[in-house]
Amino acid sequence: KAGVTQTPRYLIKTRGQQVTLSCSPISGHRSVSWYQQTPGQGLQFLFEYFSETQRNKGNFPGRFSGRQFSNSRSEMNVSTLELGDSALYLCASSYSLGTGELFFGEGSRLTVL
Amino acid sequence: SQKIEQNSEALNIQEGKTATLTCNYTNYSPAYLQWYRQDPGRGPVFLLLIRENEKEKRKERLKVTFDTTLKQSLFHITASQPADSATYLCALDGGFKTIFGAGTRLFVKA
């Protein structure tokens, strides 16, 4: 069974640009969560999607958005990039909401110059 | 305010010894608590989940305890090996979202 796939794995952008990251969950998993990981802040919750609906959102500005498609694949978008957005963005899938046991992808490493 | 704290940023132990990592939380009432392992540049990997009505859970060389009165979980690795060197993350159910601690980096020396 294939794991969680995130693309791209690495990307470099400049300030002011926007970026879209993609996540394909494990087959049969309907919940997708996104996290930002930085050395100083650790893993910070961005948002969670279930059945194409955002169920919860973390304390991030509106520049961070996401969506989930009918096949459970998810994308997140960051607009007007800032230097502080440089981070590892991790996607995790689970079978349903509140079931624990998150399965993480390898992440997308974003560098903003 | 709500907090989840892993008491040590780093822990150094000798091979064969038992590593004990601590996770404390405040202003949460989690239905369950989890532990993950993360290697550099990789995504976290789930290890164990313990529910609020469970005191202890074991999996091979791993043992987790959960004390809802103390609001604390302890994570033990017995007979530690250099391959156990990684960052270990505590995570709890924060109401439709999983909240992670900052992690403890474990170094097991041969």
B70-91 per-position pLDDT tens digit:
999 999 999 999 999 999 999 9
Q: How far is CA A45 from the centre of its chain?
A: 9
Question: pLDDT of B24-66, one tens digit each?
Answer: 999 888 889 999 999 998 999 999 999 999 989 999 999 999 9
Which of A58, A97, A105 lies nearest to residue B43, judging by beta carbons?
Answer: A105
Calculate how close chain B gets to A97, using CA atoms only, in Å: 7
- Going by the DSSP 8-state scheme, the letter that residue A59 receives in this structure is S
Query: Is the CB of A92 inside 8 Å of chain B's CB atoms?
Result: yes
Q: Can you tell me the distance from the alpha carbon of B66 to that of B64, in angstroms, rounded to the nearest whole number?
A: 7
Whether A98 sits inside 8 A of B99 (CB atoms) is no
